[in-house]
Structure 1
Amino acid sequence: MRKQYADVKDRTKGRKVVRLRMDAGFFFERAVRSLDRHRFDKALKYFRLAVEKEPDNPVNQCNLAGILSEMGRFEESNQVLNRILEDVDPDLYECYFYMANNAANMDQFEQAEEYLIRYLEKEPNGEFASEAEEMLDMLGYELGRQPRRPEVKPKNQWLKKHDEARADLEAGHFLQATKTLEQLVEQVPDFMAALNNLALAYYYTGDLKKSVQTINRVLDSDPNNLHALCNLAVICQHRGDTDKRDQLVEMLKKWAPYHLEHMYKLATTMGILGEHTEALRLFKQLIKLEKNTDASLYHYAAAAAFNTKQFHQARKYWRMAQNLDPGSDIPGFYLKQLEEWRDCSPERVPTVSYHYQLPFEEQFMRLDRQSKAIPEQVKNNPLIRSSFFWALNYGDRETQMQVIQVFEWIADREVEQVLKSFLMKRDEEDDVKRLALYVLRQIGAEKPYKAILSNREVEIQPHDLSRELPSWMETWEQVLECCLEGMHGHYDITHMNDAQIIWAEFLRQNQSNPPRIQKVEGWAAALEYVVAKLHGMPLTQERVAKKHEVSSSTVGRHVRLLEKVCRVHRERSSFSQ
């Protein structure tokens, strides 16, 4: 709840007095402040008052149970936890785990065992499942017998489907995840986790309208669902709905997540929303609480520290990430950039992304330099894939064309679906769609293709495709055909293959600003010359110009542009040998 104030007049003095309206959020903040100062008695008092103000809020109840347990009042803590399960949230199964810990601290080993069995039967893959299994072993030892185990029950088919969909999301197969989750929520409409993941799947593929609709379904049933509130805040920021975004941020800042998973969600959301100070506070807590901290968490903390201009702390966290993940380029990239950014004027210092990946622009630069190595990383990294999907949906024309070019390298089923969906968008430029058509043909996508071109829907058969390509691309194909025709009978298959590779690479590098080809023969002659030179063949520019009936100056001008590509190709060829 947001703090509210009311101004009233003191009639005796004629002055204005600010009267605090003490709601649950007010007492919660006081409790957290007391905890930070190790004043457990005061924290307990304020948590009780927060519960009185919002008795149906399970978070307040769990905080109360937690402070009672910290103070050694285990029986009272269990009474609160039991009340949560009976009256507030019967599905908050982790309460059984907390109750087991309290019972064990009171030497009630059999009761603790019973709570653990209940927890594992309800949440076999829950956050505390491994700890519960270890605790059962310990209790079995204390009781002098074999530890008990939960009854093994077949997993519901819809739970298996949800696991599959989550795996697809984590692998970056967003469209497949969307399809599975849509089927799942139709079968089980009140499955909140599936709805939240479906909202994420829509978000990753750029369908914000459906994402918001799905989030609202969750919030209609569970107004305090943290995942849904965080997702909605991010979308509001993206849409420019600052009032709604600010309202949600104020609400989220009042949360003190009881579970690490929720703390992660809240911390990363605060970072994405630009609330970097709050994000840093939460990430620092996570670093203290996590038993096996991974490199990505240190990167998150480093990003938050950097974005609050705490450069020394950012360096420390990125170095920790580098030590944990020495094979990754990411921490080293940011450590190097940190030294450059520190000397920049404040307005030129960028905001570092919380995603544990290289910046989007750097990914493109590395794709240009290492076109053989990076595509595998692109295929397997869901964050990179989602950034490409977003760029295709919301980037400018040049960025869209770069992304479509990358899709030609990825060339999987999902890329095919994304490009086909892009062709049906009315507000995208025809020229960009024609490039998408070309890539679909190159990757062997299933035909025919449907597209909206010149504001009309058309179905394009394979033999019609050339008419729908950009005019510069048709000319490009003519250059290659002219060159290969002139080489036929004088060069072997290796030479002709190199001509195709060099020309394709040249066009790829100039995708956003393709060359204006006035005379096909001039470029064909230049291409033949650089291939001959690559293989040490005795061919002069004058001779090849005469062969194609163009001037040697024209050939020389085009050769200079092609030679850069030729050098890169030579280096790759010698390296592979």
Structure 2
Amino acid sequence: MDTRHSRDKSGDRSSNVIAMNFDATYFFERGVRFLQRNELSKALRAFRKTVEYEPNNPVNYCNLAGVLSEMGDFQASNELLEHVLRELDPNMAECQFYLANNYANMGEYDTAEEYVLRYLDADPDGEYAEDAEEMLGVLMDEFGGGRVFEKWQEEKRQSDVVAATKDGRYFLENGQFEAAVEWLEQVIQKEPENYAAYNNLCLAYYYTGQHDKALAMADDVLYRQPDNIHALCNRAILIKHFGWADVLEAAAEPLRKVFPLHYDLAMKVGTTLGIIGYHADALAKFRRLLRFMTPPEPVLLHAAAAAAANSRQWAIAERYWSQLVRDIDYRAVGEYYLRRLAEARSAADVDWRVSYQLDLPVEAQLAEVKDKLKDDDLDAWRRDPLVRASLYWGLRHGNHETRRRVIRALAVVADSDAEKALRLFVGRNDIDATSRLHALVALKRINAQGTVHINVNGEWQEIQLEEVDSNIIFELNPNWRAVWERTEGWLEAHHLGRLIPEAKRLWLTYLYDMFLHVNRRIGKTDIWVAGLLYITLRYFGVPVVQRELAEEFKVAPSSIRKCSLRLEQILLSAGI
């Protein structure tokens, strides 16, 4: 037996031995040196030691996975990376990028595409973002990819819609102001700290003419969050609307002092200052924002030009609109304002005011269209070509609200010319999805038949109007769908499934009639669920007590009675 080791260990010479501090850092440094010398086997052993010493450190696993990948053992590398995401740090986005590389090397291009998209979703401005975008391009262009990307885009669009719907932005941006009110009133009841919903409800009240409610909403937010910029902007606009000149200065002061770093918020502050008449201050905000925007956004260029023109700084306005003319999509707008600017300067027109909205000024035409839409004489509409021309003009050039009113008016007229106008409208490639949806609902309302072509995300699709499900109207308002889904669920739970088709027919009939009346709205969903159930059960011979339904849904019997009467009137007129 060799005893030299034990003697050395127990003898006096042991004092000359230098103790080695073996830890994860030591083996990490050794692993890096081996990698630099391309000694992969030694590097692998070193990085395995780092995992042994620090088994909960995700970086060690990533380093080890990297060596395995370099050695071509992509499967083992993937297992380590998935362990990190599953057990140690689900937010370590770079693991997604490493996985994408591994699967690409394994020839599994769809899986690689999926992981590179996961990385870009998790960390769009991350360390590997440019490499990930380049990899995505290669996977799509050279390896026939794109299927996963299309699915990802669709999911992202849907998630964006869900997020925008939750705080009401979706409805506001698409001109669905009544739907925004209905939705957001429920949101703030469930989420009393959702200030985005409060601010958007304030705007929805404003756009639907409920100005007192809008002001109360803005004051409520500012009571709890005195520095909430959205609420400060909303309140300033409402004070201007009410004509309270004595308090306008105080409302404008915090907006004049602040400059948000977020682009959208800075734009809102500048635009608000312009709307309430502080044009020079608005111009200062916009010019400061322009220093950070390369190239400048068209909407910002126009806003700066409008502020300059409204504060009589003609040369500055001319410079910004001249820049806008270079954008082919906004050339007509820029050229129009340059012509009007020249006229105003030559005539010294101090009363000329420019809207901060980037669009052709259509106030006069819109006013004419809105006046026509107030006239309920359908025969006059059919006889008067000028009325028709106004409607068609509003359909082509109006904003969301005007288009929606025109679409409903054409659904009321419901003759061949109106149908043709709606068919042409849904086929345009420059309209938003919500306007197209309104037009499709109008075509269903007038029982239009045959084929229409629509442009969705740059691709043309042919659809048969007969095959468009009547349920499409649910897409216009989440409350309409909610009423039906809860009604259907109640009938199923009470073993009355045979009445589901009848109840649905009743509800759709009511909604398609209500579609023609822009000022009608669905209030509390509980009332309408109870009302729809009551009228359905009564019509089809199922014993029902109004008071019991009221107790179950926690609503007043009188509310169910009013609701069921409204439903019954429409059903009787439809001959159901």
The TM-score with structure 2 as length reference comes to 0.40
Q: Which has the larger radius of gyration?
A: 2
